[in-house]
Amino acid sequence: MKVGYIGLGIMGAPCVRNLLKAGHQVTVWARRRQSAEALLAAGAAWADSPAELAGQVELLITNVSDTGDVEQVLLGEAGAASGARPGLVCADMSTIAPNGARRIAARLSEAGIDFLDCPVSGGEVGAINGTLTIMAGGKAEALEKARPALEAMGQTITHIGASGAGQVAKACNQIAVAAGVAAVAEIVKLARACEVDPAPVRAALLGGFAQSRVLDVHGQRMIDDNYAPGFKAKLHAKDMHIVHDTAREQGISLPAAERAMQLIDQLVAEGGGELDSSAIARLIWRQN
Ligand code: NAP
């Protein structure tokens, strides 16, 4: 496929490499050309603006930061919508607010462009290995058009529902991760308080009902007290605020997610935004 890609960071750059490896023709744009140099050397082509890029491709993928960034790149001045041909599919792999995704989809559909929210789980390792879990919201036919490219980046591609539903699934994912990180920190805390080595506790629990990737990966990080990212706390904070705002819009409370959000916010406020978000363990251990 002719694929355009915008957002060449920790997640986007390895995705572009996997698209190229699978034989797709990839054109990129970045606000700082230097973020694209290595990918241009690997075979990607360059476009001078999102609008120019959109006019050349069948599928345009964004993997930027937050809702406003996706809006800027797709709907802003020289944004993709101003250069796209009708029939273009835009797939956004960033984690953004579900209502933001719905708003963007509505604006793009006025220009004959289909928008899919396609947030992912699996982290940098999943992006490098092409094994991401992709949670799609939008029209099923648009997802089928995008699927050959998505398959080069992800192992599990699930059509969750209408526009915004993919981002709802991602918000659900982030509840499990954040509350799970807090639970694992408490496991380590209780074991140590009882003068029991947390390493064999983790190993034993990995064979039972409490088994999880969070216990496996973050449990080891906590035992080693090593919080090199991984998933930066500042991005996890953004995601937990999406969870919080979405719950508030629905008039429901999520007490475990709320507490995890407070801990991640505190970590960021104390200067830990660039650490892996599992560093909230240090805050949990500090309290009696
Ligand atoms: P990142 O390394 O910070 O990369 C983001 C990229 O988007 C950067 O290259 C940045 O350009 C570009 N960008 C941001 N805003 C832009 C704008 N307004 N216009 C043009 N370019 C813009 O972040 P990441 O870790 O790849 O994450 C990308 C998305 O995936 C986020 O929504 C994140 O929450 C989500 N995610 C991340 C992970 C993870 O483990 N890292 C896992 C799942 C989902 P510059 O280089 O110029 O700053």
19-23's contacts with Cβ under 8 Å and 24+ in sequence apart are 19/149, 19/152, 19/153, 20/44, 21/152, 22/149, 22/151, 22/152
DSSP E strands, the chain: 2-6, 25-29, 45-46, 59-62, 89-92, 114-117, 120-121, 132-137, 154-161
Q: Indicate if ligand 1 lies below 6 Å from the C-beta of 235.
A: yes
Distance 66 CA to ligand 1 centre (A): 8
- The pTM (predicted TM-score) of the whole model is 0.95
Distance 188 CA to ligand 1 centre (A): 32
Identity of the residue numbered 163? S
Per cent of the chain over pLDDT 70 is 100
Q: Report which protein residue has its CA nearest ligand 1's atom 44.
A: 120
What is the atom index within ligand 1 of the atom nearest the CA of 239?
34
Q: Report which protein residue has its CA nearest ligand 1's atom 17.
A: 69
d(C-alpha 134, C-alpha 70), whole Å: 18
Q: Indicate if ligand 1 lies below 6 Å from the C-beta of 73.
A: yes
Cβ neighbours of 204 (radius 10 Å): 10
Q: Indicate if ligand 1 lies below 6 Å from the C-beta of 148.
A: no
Q: At what angle do helices 233-250 and 98-109 cross, to 10 degrees?
A: 80
pLDDT surpassing 90 at residue 92: yes
d(C-alpha 40, C-alpha 132), whole Å: 23
Average pLDDT over all residues of the chain: 97
Q: Indicate if ligand 1 lies below 6 Å from the C-beta of 69.
A: yes
Distance 194 CA to ligand 1 centre (A): 42
Q: Indicate if ligand 1 lies below 6 Å from the C-beta of 124.
A: yes
What's the first-to-final CA gap in the chain, in angstroms?
Answer: 56
Q: Indicate if ligand 1 lies below 6 Å from the C-beta of 9.
A: yes
* pLDDT tens, residue by residue, 184-211: 999 999 999 999 999 999 999 999 999 9
The per-residue pLDDT for 192 is: 98
The per-residue pLDDT for 124 is: 87
Q: Is 189 a catalytic residue?
A: no
Which member of 21, 170, 234, 238 is catalytic?
A: 170
Distance 211 CA to ligand 1 centre (A): 30
Per cent of the chain over pLDDT 90 is 97
d(C-alpha 217, C-alpha 214), whole Å: 5
* pLDDT tens, residue by residue, 1-49: 999 999 999 999 999 999 999 999 999 999 999 999 999 999 999 999 9
d(C-alpha 201, C-alpha 54), whole Å: 52
d(C-alpha 4, C-alpha 13), whole Å: 12
Q: Report which protein residue has its CA nearest ligand 1's atom 11.
A: 7
The residues, any chain, with a CB within 8 Å of residue 175's CB and separated by 6 or more, are 243, 254, 256, 257, 260
The per-residue pLDDT for 230 is: 83
d(C-alpha 187, C-alpha 181), whole Å: 10
Helices of type H across 76-224: 98-109, 123-129, 140-153, 165-193, 198-205, 213, 219-224
* pLDDT tens, residue by residue, 219-261: 999 999 999 988 999 999 999 999 999 999 999 999 999 999 9
Q: Would you say the C-alpha torsion 161, 167, 170, 175 has a positive or negative sign? A: negative
* pLDDT tens, residue by residue, 150-159: 999 999 999 9
Identity of the residue numbered 14? P
Q: Indicate if ligand 1 lies below 6 Å from the C-beta of 32.
A: yes
Cβ neighbours of 195 (radius 10 Å): 6
d(C-alpha 31, C-alpha 48), whole Å: 9
